[in-house]
Amino acid sequence: MTLTAEPAHDLPTSDVDPFCPEVLEDPLPFHAALREAGPVVHLRRYDVFAFARYEQVRAALVDWQGFQSAAGVGLSNFRHEKPWRPPSLLLEADPPRHDAPRRVLQKILGPRALRKLHEAWLADADRLVDEVLDAQGPEFDAVPHLTEAFPLRVFPDAVGIPQEGREHLLPYGDHAFNAFGPANELVEKGAPRVGELSAWVAAQCAREVLAPEGFGADIWAASDRGDITPEQAPLVVRSLLTAGVDTTVHGLSAVLCAFATHPEQWRRLREEPGLARVAFDEAVRWESPVQTFFRTATRDVPIGGHVIPDGHKILMFLGAANRDPARWGPDADAFDLARDPSGHVGFGMGIHQCVGQHVARLEAEALLTALARRVETIELAGPPRRHLNNTLRAWEALPVRLRPA
Ligand code: OVM
């Protein structure tokens, strides 16, 4: 093989731990430094290659042949390490094995299929907002009362799992998203409950446990048709229960926090409630509830005058790409409903792009529409508190004051 003469610049490196509490608390300065350092930065602490610019993150997401998922999309390399649970058939798989489960779930969670939930979820959000304003008055913590309450009220029912044990959903998802990072204190803190939580989740995936109608039943019906095997069906249900709750909770928290801190944007939404979905996508861009995913190089991949060696992990900073001024302009940090947020990588991009994104948008549309109808102003009633997670940009508390219209 002939080597072309590349300019001999050094690979930028960083000793920062992206998963340390200080960076998780406020990742924005680190993201900016990574973007400025170059198209690829070697993170010495974990011997991984970081992409923080929109161009490289997007290219890596789309290139599933060069940057595979089947070796895991966390730091752990499944070529050498045993995964903490059987790998996801969607997230932690490559074509061709990835494709049948993906096709099945994409149809079940697609815009056409969701039309039958639209009216019911809008009505349910109306009731929730009424109840909360009645019971709490104008000032309360939006995390338990709205952004956790709404997904927990509609999504488990839509999947078709029983009432009992639903309090396990958020802790299970929290652990699963921590597990993409290094085995740090956040993972250790979750470890004692993993057995119990995993066993509960696995039990909910059985055909007999699931309601006769719902996403769960639809997945089992796909196995009856032979679209997936009966062995695959419970793992596909598991994907819904793993990725479907914490993500939407923190996405809804993000959009409420954005409005509580941008009163002129709330006025804009109230004038034009049809902007609810754009507002949610802009908040997903602005906050990136899922901050990072890894890929693994399937060969020596040349990039920016360097080579990422076969088998090495790449860490894609979705949150940094979503605020890259080279893509979003000098106002990349602004939350602005006048912007077109399409093309953001908060839901990923390419064959693994979030299969639940239409469900998330429907939840957001319902909650924002209900709030816009009743609430003249939203403001912070105290300092919001972060919940630290290795992958999620999450909230512990979001104290708000609402003035009824
Ligand atoms: C899954 C899955 C998909 C996306 C994210 C995720 C824990 C899990 O298929 O289980 O995070």
CATH T-level fold of 3-404: Cytochrome p450 (1.10.630)
Distance, CA of 145 to CA of 153 (rounded, Å): 11
Mean pLDDT, to the nearest integer, of 150-166?
98
Q: Where are the domains positioned within the chain?
A: 3-404
Q: Which string of DSSP letters, residue by residue, matches 3-17?
A: PP----PPPPEE---
Which tens digit of pLDDT belongs to each residue from 92-139? 999 999 999 999 999 999 999 999 999 999 999 999 999 999 999 999
Residue 42 has pLDDT above 70, yes or no: yes
Which tens digit of pLDDT belongs to each residue from 311-325? 999 999 999 999 999
User: Long-range contacts made by residues 273-278, C-beta under 8 angstroms, separation at least 24?
Assistant: 273/368, 273/369, 273/372, 273/373, 275/337, 276/364, 276/365, 276/368, 276/369, 276/372, 277/361, 277/364, 277/365, 278/337, 278/340, 278/341
Measuring from atom 10 of ligand 1, which residue has the nearest CA?
A: 239
Kindly give the pairing relationship between strand 385-388 and strand 375-380: unpaired
Nearest by Cα to 247 from 123, 110, 361, 365: 361
Would the annotation count 354 as a binding residue?
Answer: yes
Residue 387 has pLDDT above 80, yes or no: yes
Q: Percentages helix, strand, coil for the chain, rounded to the nearest 5? A: 50, 15, 35
The average confidence (pLDDT) of the chain is: 97
* CA 60 distance to own-chain centroid: 17
Give the Cβ contact number of residue 120 at 10 Å. Answer: 13
- Confidence band of 9 (pLDDT split at 50, 70, 90): low
Ligand 1 pocket: which of 239, 247, 294 to mutate (most atoms <8 Å of CB)?
A: 239
Ligand 1 pocket: which of 236, 237, 242 to mutate (most atoms <8 Å of CB)?
A: 242
Whole-number percent of the chain with pLDDT over 70 = 98
pLDDT, position 304: 84
Measuring from atom 5 of ligand 1, which residue has the nearest CA?
A: 243
Please give all residues whose beta carbon lies within 6 A of any atom in ligand 1, as ranges. 88, 90-91, 176-177, 239, 242-243
Name the phi and psi angles at 282, rounded to 5.
-65, -35
Residue 51 has pLDDT above 80, yes or no: yes
Tell how far the Cα of 88 is from the centroid of ligand 1, in angstroms: 7
